[in-house]
Structure 1
Amino acid sequence: MSIIVLGANGQLARHLLGTVPSAEFWGRETLDVADAEALEARLVEAAPRAIINAAAYTAVDRAESEPVEAWRVNVEAPAAAARAARRLDAALVHVSTDYVFDGSANTPYAEDAPTCPLGVYGASKLAGELAVRTICPRHWILRTSWVFSEYGHNFMKTVLRLAESGNPLRIVADQLGRPTYAGHLAELIAALDPAGDSPQLPYGTWHATGGEIASWHGFAQRIVARAAALGLLAEAPEVIPISTADYPAPARRPAYSVLAPSAAIAALDGTTFDWNTGLERALAALAGAAEAVTP
């Protein structure tokens, strides 16, 4: 077996089905990734040349009350995958997050910027990075941010669902970041050729995102405007800017979680992280699906 993808049911894995079709995809029905001992044993038995860890505990608020579960999925599972990869001399692709930073900066975070997560989710993802970095020499840690897609549960789809009522949307405007289309991330992972003999990107920690900096409010405005233009919404509702203080949540969010895109990734042929292009692709896919089910 050449490549195994962990987290078969997530939005990234759904795109990897198209970009890395030869891979074997392991979801909950195959194995509970939170069982680190079983995961390591199964990976060693399968003996892939590369492992792509697209599994994660991403419920940022719920993680505050479920720290053990978040730790098992975001730390113990990547550590198990890293141990298996080291034993097999395989490569490991591990996806991480902008939430490893506290958002106190006012310029984009470089790969070597000091980390300081604000909550359980960010802390568990940072610990997962450290485990992968320490255990497995042949690794790519791909930090990304604000991932959206036509698949799964994400901000874009939540906005579309709420916008169907036509009522105004109240969206936080004082948190800044870079949205990332999961399809672009999947295309990057395929371009790495992780199971190949000549990696297209040096091993290490990279920032896989790009495009213009946006607030959640600005992103939502773009979503509803384009969705209305494509006929997914009867009309674009008003999007009202609010502050973080107006939308209290169990977990603190970084106010400025803007990642500086890695130049080495930008130089790879066939990769892009223009989220406006990704938004058009995601909305077009939803529009096509809606047409397919309309009598």
Structure 2
Amino acid sequence: MAEPTIEVEGLTKRYGNRTVVDGLSMTVERGEIYGFLGPNGSGKTTSIRMMCGLLTPDAGSGHTLGLDVVRDAAAIKRRVGYMTQRFGLYEDLSIRENLDFIARMYGMGRRAERVSQALERLGLGSRASQLAGRLSGGWKQRLALAACMLHEPEVLLLDEPTAGVDPGARREFWNEIHALAARGITVLVSTHYMDEAERCHRLGYIAHGRLLVSGTPDELVAQSGLSSRVANGVDDADTVSTLEHDPAVGTVTRLGNTLRASGADAAALDATLAAHTRAEWQVVPPTLEEVFIHHSRRAADNFS
């Protein structure tokens, strides 16, 4: 088998007495899109930064592209593209000027040619002279992706890259990510959007610096142990509130006139739904959102 693109074991990072990442172990294969999920402050960004050589771990070991994340951090940075949560380019420079500046920073040959190729690849050619500060969120996102792809990295690390971007722009962005993965580029992405999580080949859920579960979306749903039910016409606010506060019910979701409920104990869930409603509840598979809410609440209980 080919060597994993990213492989870390026991990766740990502390700030004073606070452990931000606690014994992270995981692998990411070549050409794989691996999604990081977890609440804010769970350690996703810190984990990504250790993997790409921007932060030195306090304990553990790891390799990215066969390079040691501690000893070879500088070499890793040259072969990895990192897209941060916040737009980090110069807003008073044009799109082309931003990309040309980055190309100069990397000491690239054929600079003008590479910048032009990046502009065309991400559909930025017609806006090349537009100031970055005047771009919408979706176009800024395209520019940021073009910037981190300019040096032709083998790994992309994307930290909540679509936060605040409209659904159409997010869809276009993910189409591009899948095209890059098909070319053999490995992508590690953190996100809060469940529709984006479903687009990943594999997922990991992090809470309090620990990787709680990892697998394909289908595997995580199947392994969750959750049971879900759906019924039409349950719109009484008092009934919904009662279900939300019942320990047998993990989640309650309103979708128009449809109500979804899930729980870890199928028998207890069914008994509760029958006791509080007259609706006909149908058995349905759990959603990925229900699974991650379940893990989030378990993590809160375990680490509180």
Q: TM-score, normalised by structure 2?
A: 0.31
Of Structure 1 and Structure 2, which has the larger fraction of its residues in strand?
A: 2
Larger Rg: 2
Q: TM-score, normalised by structure 1?
A: 0.31
